[in-house]
């Protein structure tokens, strides 16, 4: 566990606790369930797990409305269960990252209960309050109904800011006491052995204190200059502790020129999720342009963090189909940077149809959050190994074929492919630390070379539904892995990805 910069060489696996594994039969995943399945994550080849929020919460936004940052919600277990999970992960050589939610709390958090009690309460300034007959500006909440990001509170007649649900009031990071309190939250978990944090909407903790209206090309409610010293201060807290702790930012900025400064200064975030892939059409040219641009932006410093899906976005196999999802997986796991995988991605899961009457999420993200199928469903165990009870969301309709236990026995399964791809990445320094150089290739082919210590590896990805020639540079190379069971020659098959040692 003492290796340096593990977060550059390793793969990070996101666990959405409600849907990973249920140990007590209540239909909702929990910490003991995760602990029981950590060997699966280890065997997949990941270096770390990132847990979506496990804190005490009324669950208006399924844990992203935190009511107590230093306790575990009983739905998931106890602090002792969290300690056991961290200890077991470390025994298996896995790191543990927690979701850190600094932008807002629950309206049930004791801080907000005090803040709303009166206009002169000592914690009034911990949140963003304004008077007046109308909302202070035209900011709208992030969930898709375009409602104002302001709610008038009956107790004092003033408006409070909430970038998300009204049940999620924004903390005021212009108040030094807030920053100090949130740093203490980090220290609480770091002392318990956590290896780092994924920082929810990290770019939102810097806002225009004058509350100016958003303008074309300039937002005032996020990505304000004050965010950068605040993230640098968070990094300094992590550096108080040994063990190469890591700060990963959810920085939802689709302009890569705006994203790059979060990771290129060397004293802020170690990693910032790049979400551009999640919004691209299936196009070799568009993917190459995206990667080449970010490579140029981070050439003098900074390390990319690539992903294809997460708990907020439709699954890759739904967007592209499973054949192309293999190509996308090969791309993410061979680029320069740290790959993030979302639970079930390695099983080829698609979004699960959820009947309208069963939808529970206000932003309708249920389909990608459905439970992981561990075993084929049966009359005795309809929960597909996820739970012995009734799962909180429907299990996948194809769970009989997609279940992890079934795929583990099939050498041609998505799971087998991901295991082989992660194993190749772990065994190939060029795919971990190597330089990146894109190649001119046939139309519909995205090809690049990774090079480290005189070893060169070429990756060629055919985005077309028909054969395309391999780049000439691949001639005479040794095949390391293909997305197809049979491959060869100087042409890529339709929707084939190939890794070749030069």
Query: What residues are labeled active site?
Result: 200, 240
Q: Is 422 exposed, middle or buried (0-12, 13-18, 19+ CB in 10 A)?
A: buried
Asked whether the beta carbons of 36 and 459 are under 8 A apart, the reply is no
How far apart (Å, rounded) are the C-alpha atoms in residues 339 and 10?
A: 8
Strand order in the sheet with 129-130: 129-130, 159-161, 150-152
How many residues would you count in the chain?
502
Largest CA distance in the chain: 76
Beta strand residue intervals within 294-377, DSSP E: 305-307, 338-342
The DSSP 8-state label assigned to residue 193 in this structure reads T
Asked whether the beta carbons of 333 and 422 are under 8 A apart, the reply is yes
Q: Give the 3-state DSSP-derived string for 410-440, with helices as H, strands as E and coil as C.
A: CCCCHHHHHHHHHHHHHHCHHHHCCEEEEEC
Asked whether the beta carbons of 100 and 185 are under 8 A apart, the reply is yes
The separation between CA 87 and the C-alpha centre of its own chain, rounded to angstroms, equals 23
Helical H segments across 3-99, by residue range = 6-9, 31-36, 38-44, 79-91
Q: Which of 202, 433, 461 is nearest to 304 (CA)?
A: 433
Asked whether the beta carbons of 461 and 445 are under 8 A apart, the reply is yes
> 62: alpha, beta or left, given left = phi > 0 and alpha = psi -120 to 50?
left
Helical H segments across 52-175, by residue range = 79-91, 110-115
Q: Which of 102, 307, 271, 62 is nearest to 202 (CA)?
A: 102
């Amino acid at each position: 566990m003492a290796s340096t910069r593990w977060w550059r060489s390793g793969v990070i696996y996101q666990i959405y606790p409600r849907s990973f594994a249920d140990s007590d039969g209540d239909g909702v995943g929990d910490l003991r369930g995760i602990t029981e399945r950590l060997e699966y994550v280890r065997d997949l080849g990941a270096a770390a797990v990132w847990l979506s929020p496990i804190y005490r919460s009324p669950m208006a936004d399924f844990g992203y409305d935190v009511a107590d940052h230093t306790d575990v919600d009983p739905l998931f277990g106890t602090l002792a269960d969290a300690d056991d999970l961290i200890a077991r992960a470390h025994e298996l050589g896995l790191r543990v990252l927690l979701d850190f939610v600094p932008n807002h709390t629950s309206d049930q958090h004791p801080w907000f209960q005090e803040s709303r009690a009166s206009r002169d309460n000592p914690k009034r300034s911990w949140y963003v309050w304004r008077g007046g007959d109308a909302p202070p500006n035209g900011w709208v909440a992030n969930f898709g109904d375009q409602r104002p990001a302001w709610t008038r509170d009956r107790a004092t007649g003033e408006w409070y800011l909430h970038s998300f649900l009204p049940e999620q009031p924004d903390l005021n990071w212009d108040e030094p006491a807030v920053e100090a309190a949130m740093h203490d939250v980090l220290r609480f978990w770091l002392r318990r052995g956590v290896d780092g944090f994924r920082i929810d909407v990290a770019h939102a903790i810097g806002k225009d204190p004058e509350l100016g209206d958003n303008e074309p090309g300039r937002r005032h409610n996020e990505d304000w200059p004050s965010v950068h010293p605040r993230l640098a201060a968070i990094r300094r807290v992590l550096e108080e502790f040994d063990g190469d702790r890591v700060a990963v930012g959810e920085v939802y900025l689709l302009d890569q020129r705006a994203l790059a400064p979060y990771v290129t200064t060397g004293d802020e975030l170690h990693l910032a999720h790049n979400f551009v892939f999640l919004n691209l059409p299936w196009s070799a040219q568009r993917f190459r342009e995206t990667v080449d641009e970010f490579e140029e932006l981070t050439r003098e410093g900074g390390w990319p963090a690539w992903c294809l899906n997460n708990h907020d976005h439709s699954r890759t196999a739904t967007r592209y189909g499973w054949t192309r999802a293999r190509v996308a997986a090969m791309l993410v796991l061979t680029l320069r940077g740290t790959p993030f995988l979302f639970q079930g991605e390695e099983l080829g899961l698609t979004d699960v149809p959820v009947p309208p009457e069963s939808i529970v999420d206000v932003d309708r993200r249920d389909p990608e959050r459905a439970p992981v199928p561990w075993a084929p469903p049966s009359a005795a165990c309809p929960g597909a190994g996820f739970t012995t009870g009734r799962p909180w969301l429907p299990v996948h309709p194809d769970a009989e074929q997609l279940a992890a236990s079934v795929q583990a026995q099939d050498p041609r399964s998505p799971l087998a492919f991901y295991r082989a791809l992660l194993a190749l990445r772990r065994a190939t320094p060029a795919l971990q630390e190597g330089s990146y150089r894109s190649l001119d290739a046939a139309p519909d082919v995205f090809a690049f070379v990774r090079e480290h210590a005189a070893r060169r590896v070429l990756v060629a990805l055919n985005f077309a539904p028909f054969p395309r020639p391999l780049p000439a540079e691949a001639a005479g190379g040794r095949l390391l892995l293909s997305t197809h069971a049979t491959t060869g020659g100087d042409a890529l098959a339709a929707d084939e990805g190939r890794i070749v040692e030069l």
